[in-house]
Amino acid sequence: MGLQDTLKTLVHKSHLSDVSRHLKHRIEQGLEQRVKLAVTGLSRSGKTVFISALARHLQQSDQGLSLPFFSAAADGRIIGTRDCSHESAIPFPLQTTLAGLQASPPHWPASTDQLSEVKLALRYRRSPGLGRMLGEHTTLYLDLIDYPGEWLLDLPMLEWSFATWCRQQQALFFASPRLEASREWLTCQQQLDWLAPADDTQFQQLAHTFRDLLQQLREPPYCLSLLQPGRLLMPGDLSDSPLLNLFPILTDLPANPDQAAPDSLYSRLKSTYYAYREHAVRPFYEDHFRHFDRQIVLVDCLKTLNRGEACFTDMQQALNTLLHSFHYGHNSLLRRLVRPRISRVLFAATKADHVTANQHHNLDRFLQLLVESAQREIRFEQVETHCLAIASLRATSAAQAKLDGQYLSCLRGHRKDNGEEMALFPGEVPVELPRAEDWNSERFRFVDFAPRPLPVGPLRPEHHIRLDQALEYLLGDLLQ
């Protein structure tokens, strides 16, 4: 074996190549040639569909057809796009997802159970002007990650001690609607002696009961979002791991914790909590969530309208909580090299194709209502934010029906559950928070639609709603 080969293996073994690649990425990021876009959203908010649609449209952006409001593409300045996801150890299954959407009948991607990365390289021509001095052609690398939305809610736990977490959960579980759903669990907890030794089976049984409770809270009729720990709902590679035997203490915490036996429930829970934090949450955060430049927060407003006030407040609280885990602010060059912060945030109401076009503006405003306090916090850091109703993949077409002598705009699409064609006027999106008595089940009917088949060939603007404006807002200034 030659010296060179030996060196190579040594470098490989010592992860030096990793370091150099990492360094290269950071310098590119510092020079704004590599952008990490955070696609943030609770589960089922449309992250996977957004990422797939974005990648697909960008792949075709050199044709300049489908993104008329994304100026780099509309001006014909994009020369070509390359999918470099294979460089990643965990590539995003773009081909599979697209194949599912292009199949007949097409189907939505399955829910995500793993973290995966998309890396796109956009070669573009600079717009005429001063920037041309830096050379006419250049490349922008765009990194995105897709992950189960449930995991996102674990991030705040990094800053909480076990006691803090338990107190947070107490506040949640002693309020409606969790209180009604979890009465049994609460009485069960009240009968426990936290400091006495407990055996494994009892511990595991309790953990399973709590997991089932979380699952129940996630489903209709509750449809809650702020459910921790997230891995209980979507374990990923941790399934059957002892880390998942975790639940909060919802009764008063023991007054004298030092007297707890080492195998008592209290000690077990506490150590599991910290182990969970270090081994499940921290790697996820450190490896993937620290260095973002831009952020899009996807919010499923229609779910809250369908479900009512409890769902609305819970989602609001979940968003506020999790956005604290990101760093916002402006970047100096040095700052960008060392630790970039998010300098632009777009709040997007997804699935805008579930409402008629004249309601999009109302949807914008409703989203503003939902994220108002989060937006205020971010603006305090002098970071630009904006609200926009988008649909990454349009499943409906606009139509009109004559009803009682009046024209009514409605939607035409296929039901998600049985594939039947349907026409629907889904109700109007309110621009103010409905009062509790207005929030009845008859007011909105946003049904899930099956996707329209995505063409294998060129896409057109009618395949999305405002995806181009979202892109322009998030990346437009970097593609000058």
Ligand X SMILES: Nc1nc2c(ncn2[C@@H]2O[C@H](COP(=O)(O)OP(=O)(O)O)[C@@H](O)[C@H]2O)c(=O)[nH]1
CA 303 to chain CA centroid, nearest Å: 15
Q: What is the closest distance, in whole angstroms, from the C-beta atom of residue 140 to other proteins in the complex? A: 22
Q: What is the closest distance, in whole angstroms, from the C-beta atom of residue 424 to ligand X in the complex? A: 12
Cα(63)–Cα(205) distance, rounded to whole angstroms?
57
Nearer to other proteins, 130 or 334 (CB): 130
- Site membership for ligand X, residue 93 (CB under 6 A): no
The closest alpha carbon to 441, from 213, 181, 220, belongs to 220
Q: Of the ranges 60-68, 83-91, 109-117, 190-198, which one interacts with ligand X (CB under 6 A)?
A: 109-117
Helix (H) or strand (E) run with residue 140 in it: strand 137-146
Number of residues that bind Mg ion (CB under 5 A): 3
Helix (H) or strand (E) run with residue 346 in it: strand 344-349
Nearer to other proteins, 31 or 401 (CB): 401
Site for ligand X in 397-436 (CB under 6 A): none
Cα(73)–Cα(238) distance, rounded to whole angstroms?
42
Chain residues that interact with other proteins, rule: CB under 8 A: 68-69, 74, 128-129, 352-353, 356-358, 360-361, 364, 394, 397-403, 407-410, 412, 421-428, 430, 437-438, 440, 442-445, 452, 461-462, 465-466
Q: Are 357 and 375 in contact (CB under 8 A)?
A: no
Cα(294)–Cα(109) distance, rounded to whole angstroms?
25
The partner in contact with residue 444, picked from other proteins, Mg ion, ligand X, none with C-beta cut-offs of 5 to 8 angstroms by kind, is: other proteins
Q: What is the closest distance, in whole angstroms, from the C-beta atom of residue 372 to ligand X in the complex? A: 22
Give CA separation, 400 vs 98, 448, 461, in Å. 31, 20, 21
Q: Dihedrals φ, ψ of 311, to 5°?
A: -65, -40
Cα(143)–Cα(141) distance, rounded to whole angstroms?
7
Which position among 291, 351, 360, 414 is part of the footprint of ligand X (CB under 6 A)? 351
Which position among 29, 45, 48, 343 is part of the footprint of Mg ion (CB under 5 A)? 48
If phi over 0 gives left and psi between -120 and 50 gives alpha, with beta otherwise, what is residue 36?
beta
Interface mask toward ligand X for 118-157; x: CB under 6 A: -------------------------------x--------
If phi over 0 gives left and psi between -120 and 50 gives alpha, with beta otherwise, what is residue 466?
left
Interface mask toward Mg ion for 80-119; x: CB under 5 A: --------------------------------x-------
Tokens of 249: 């203490």
* 65 HSE (CA, 13 A, CB side): 10
Which position among 49, 223, 265, 342 is part of the footprint of ligand X (CB under 6 A)? 49
Nearer to ligand X, 45 or 272 (CB): 45
Q: What is the closest distance, in whole angstroms, from the C-beta atom of residue 351 to Mg ion in the complex? A: 14
Q: Which residue stretches of 31-130 are H helix?
A: 47-59, 71-74, 94-102
Q: Encode 242-254: b = buried (16+ Cβ within 10 Å), e = exposed.
A: ebbbbbbbbeeeb
Q: Of the ranges 165-173, 349-357, 380-388, 470-478, which one interacts with ligand X (CB under 6 A)?
A: 349-357
Nearer to other proteins, 291 or 354 (CB): 354
Tokens of 461: 């603007």
Q: What is the closest distance, in whole angstroms, from the C-beta atom of residue 48 to Mg ion in the complex? A: 3
- Site membership for ligand X, residue 109 (CB under 6 A): yes
The partner in contact with residue 361, picked from ligand X, other proteins, Mg ion, none with C-beta cut-offs of 5 to 8 angstroms by kind, is: other proteins
Applying CB under 6 A, the residues found at the interface with ligand X are 41, 43-49, 108-109, 111-112, 149, 350-351, 353-354, 391-393, 395, 448-449
